[in-house]
Amino acid sequence: MELRHLKAFLAVAEELHFGRAAERLHMAQPPLSQLIRKLETHLGTPLFERSTRAVRLTSAGVALVGPAKAAVDAANDAERAARAGGRGEYGRVTIGFVGATSRELMPLLMRGVRAAYPDIELVFAGQVYTSTAFTQVAERKLDIGFVLIPTTFPGLRYRALEEETLYAVLPTDHPLAERESIEVGELSQDVFVSFPSDTGSFVRTVMLEVCHDAGFSPRIVLAAPDSYMIHAFVAAGAGVTITISSCLHIQQPGVVYVPLRGIQQRYQSALAWHEENSSAAVHAVLRVADSVLPRPEHPLSPVPQVVQRL
pLDDT at residue 128 tops 90: no
Among candidate residues 300, 266, 256, 268, the one with its CA nearest the CA of residue 167:
256
pLDDT digit string (tens) for 1-14?
A: 788 999 999 999 99
Q: What percent of the chain has pLDDT over 90?
A: 65
pLDDT digit string (tens) for 161-182?
A: 999 999 999 999 999 999 999 9
Q: Quick one: CA dihedral 141, 142, 146, 151, positive or negative?
A: positive
- Compute the distance between CA of residue 48 and CA of residue 22 in angstroms, rounded to an integer: 16
pLDDT digit string (tens) for 224-248?
A: 989 999 999 999 999 999 999 989 9
Question: Is the separation of the CB atoms in 243 and 255 below 8 Å?
Answer: no
Locate the domains of the chain by residue range: 3-86, 91-162+267-309, 166-261
CATH number of 166-261: 3.40.190.10
Question: Is the separation of the CB atoms in 280 and 117 below 8 Å?
Answer: no
Residue 217 pLDDT: 96
pLDDT at residue 142 tops 70: yes
Domains 3-86 and 91-162+267-309 alike in fold: no
pLDDT digit string (tens) for 11-59?
A: 999 999 999 999 999 999 999 999 999 999 999 999 999 887 889 999 9
Regarding the domain delimited by 91-162+267-309, which CATH topology (the fold level of the hierarchy) does it fall under? D-Maltodextrin-Binding Protein; domain 2 (3.40.190)
CATH number among 3.30.1330.80, 1.10.10.10, 3.30.300.130, 3.30.70.20, domain 3-86: 1.10.10.10
Question: Is the separation of the CB atoms in 222 and 235 below 8 Å?
Answer: no
- Label residue 271 by pLDDT band (50, 70, 90): very high
Residue 87 pLDDT: 61
pLDDT at residue 270 tops 50: yes
Residue range 269-291: mean pLDDT, rounded: 93
Report the C-alpha dihedral over residues 171, 175, 180, 183, rounded to 10 degrees: -100
pLDDT at residue 302 tops 70: no
